[in-house]
Chains A and B, each alone.
Chain A
Amino acid sequence: GNSVTQMEGPVTLSEEAFLTINCTYTATGYPSLFWYVQYPGEGLQLLLKATKADDKGSNKGFEATYRKETTSFHLEKGSVQVSDSAVYFCALKNSGYALNFGKGTSLLVTP
């Protein structure tokens, strides 16, 4: 079946540090991959997506590249801000419409 594995949190970084949150997946075929972000007390918002191998999704300084050879979709940002503190979810969508989520990684950025 489909599954997503994310690095365990919480991750604590100083402002302007480099961020990497690892995400690997298991799926048959060619899934679409997503990163969602959840700010405290809010619902999930789509951060970025990639629909085929070697695609790079990007938004708000965040990037992730769809690597089929390593079945990975790691999230990166070159310089984090306090406002980036949130929970980040990696997800995949295979045939059909259901999303399979990772367990989420909590990020805390300190001034």
Chain B
Amino acid sequence: NAGVTQTPKFQVLKTGQSMTLQCAQDMNHEYMSWYRQDPGMGLRLIHYSVGAGITDQGEVPNGYNVSRSTTEDFPLRLLSAAPSQTSVYFCASTPGNYGYTFGSGTRLTVV
């Protein structure tokens, strides 16, 4: 049972490049979410999904897109990377009113 798997672990992008951060879970959780972690800011919610085909914006959605075509996968897309998107990104999932399972994170640097 792998839990929540994020890839890649590290990535360096140039300003304006695009990329997709992958997130997959094998626990059949309906709810999945993406957070970014910045020093002194805690974790802030980017986008979330309550099931396949359903997504919504969180606190800091600008510059990011998501889709949820299957229960297992919830990729996060950066369409045109900016230095302000340098951060550590975490994907998380939950079956409902219990604790969340987090992935190990993707450390992204935009230069």
Chain A nearest CB from B60 CB (Å) reads: 12
Which residue from chain B places its CB closest to the CB of A93 in the assembled complex? B97
- With a cutoff of 8 Å between Cβ atoms, the chain B residues found around residue A98 in the complex are 33, 45, 48, 58
Size of chain B's interface in residues, with CB distance under 8 A? Answer: 26
Task: Kindly name the residue among A34, A42, A98 whose own CB sees the greatest number of chain B CB atoms within 10 A.
Answer: A98
Chain B residues numbered 62-93 whose CB sits less than 8 Å from any CB in chain A: 90, 92
Tell me the interface secondary structure of chain A in the complex. strand
Contact A99 B105 (CB under 8 A): no
Q: How far is the CA of A98 from the CA of B97 in the complex (A)?
A: 11
Q: CB-CB contacts of A41-73 with B at 8 A, as 1s and 0s?
A: 011111001010000000000000000000000
Interface size class of A (residues with CB under 8 A): 10 to 19
Given A43-B103, A98-B33, also A32-B42 (CB < 8 A): no
Contact A97 B90 (CB under 8 A): no
Which residue from chain B places its CB closest to the CB of A1 in the assembled complex? B59
Residues of A within 8 A of B (CB): 32, 34, 36, 42-46, 49, 51, 89, 93, 97-99, 101-104
